[in-house]
Structure 1
Amino acid sequence: MIFRRSGVLALIAGLSLAGVSAAHAQSFGGIVQGAEQGALQSVTGSAGTPTTSGLLGNLGVPSLSSASSGNVTGLLSYCVQNDLVSNVSSAKSTLSTLTGNSGVASDSSYASGQQGLLQLADGNQLSLSSLKDAVRRKVCKAVMSKASSLL
């Protein structure tokens, strides 16, 4: 009984350090919610501005820093097509400029990006469609930021 209680306390303490309150830790839904909040904080940073480093780091997803310009451009196209960006006209303008660059549209990573697939440094891919809508919007915000930096 003491061992079991110690294990529960250790779990709650660990979750508290990870940003999940003990009240949330009482249900699986609370644990998932806490993980999602941590993921969103990784995307937005502490000041609420999008970052490309540590993108969803709490969930083991790498940053956009390793994504090719073709993949970022394709992802931006996916975000625009799926209405996941806040400023559509700016995103379309950025997209038009980037697709006009030599070789971007013919890059295989561009086609992957158009399908919502982030190509990871280890050769794997992350499908944005597998993420919840709020997380996809944050990822698209970071994609827009990264795409703008490519101009």
Structure 2
Amino acid sequence: MIFRRSGVLALIAGLSFAGVSASHAQSFGGIAQGAEQGALQSVTGSSGGTSGLLGSLGVPSLSSASSGNIAGLLGYCVQNDLVSNVSSAKSTLNTLTGKSDVTSDASYASGQQGLLQLADGNQLSLSSLKAAVRKKVCKAVTSKASSLL
């Protein structure tokens, strides 16, 4: 994505030196923005209703995450103040971690580090996401964790 952006910027700069007016150069900025968004969509798989790594709302699917990973992620979310109702989230977390199969799950420790285990075996680090997306993910994690009780 960085290469595309710099390539498009080089194209704009080249056209500017070639005598293209500022208004035309600005319209190329829209092309650059569209190219950047297209590149992002190809990475995330989030174009018009299809779901990839990140769904259309920018939140990854939690359907394949184990209960241990969800509990670990909830702990991460609570610890990093990413939940709106801390007392409810802590209560849910305490109930989940009271189950032996949850804390013995290998992905529980990954979740505590903010790593979501994906269906394809890869991990998504919540810390790599923008703050607003992290909060959305934590909201979804809280909801998923509540459904596991």
Into which bin does the TM-score normalised by the smaller protein fall?
0.5 to 0.7
- The answer (yes or no) to whether the contact 1:72–1:110 under 8 Å persists in 2 is yes
8 A contact 1:25–1:31 mirrored in 2: no
Give the 3-state SS of the residue equivalent to 1:84 in structure 2.
coil
TM-score (normalizing by structure 1):
0.64
For normalisation by structure 2, the TM-score amounts to: 0.65
Cα distance in 2 between the residues matched to 1:140 and 1:131: 12
Pairwise CA RMSD: 3.5
Q: How many residues align?
A: 116
* Cα distance in structure 2, aligned partners of 1:138 and 1:59: 9
Verify the 8 A CA contact 1:55 1:64 in the aligned structure 2. Answer: no
Q: Equivalents in 2 of 1:137, 1:60: separation in Å? A: 11
The CA distance in 2 between the partners of 1:30 and 1:133, in whole Å, is 24
Indicate the residue corresponding to 1:11 in structure 2: none
Q: 1:55 to 1:95 in 2, by over 3 A?
A: farther
2:76 alignment partner in structure 1? 78
Q: Letter of the aligned partner of 1:107 in structure 2? A: D
Q: Give structure 1 stretches of 5+ with no counterpart.
A: 1-21, 43-52
How many percent of aligned residue pairs carry the same amino acid? 78
The unaligned stretches of length 5 or more in structure 2 are 1-26
Runs (4 or more) in structure 1 with deviation over 3 Å come to 24-27, 29-32, 58-62
Task: Note if 1:133 corresponds to 2:131.
Answer: yes
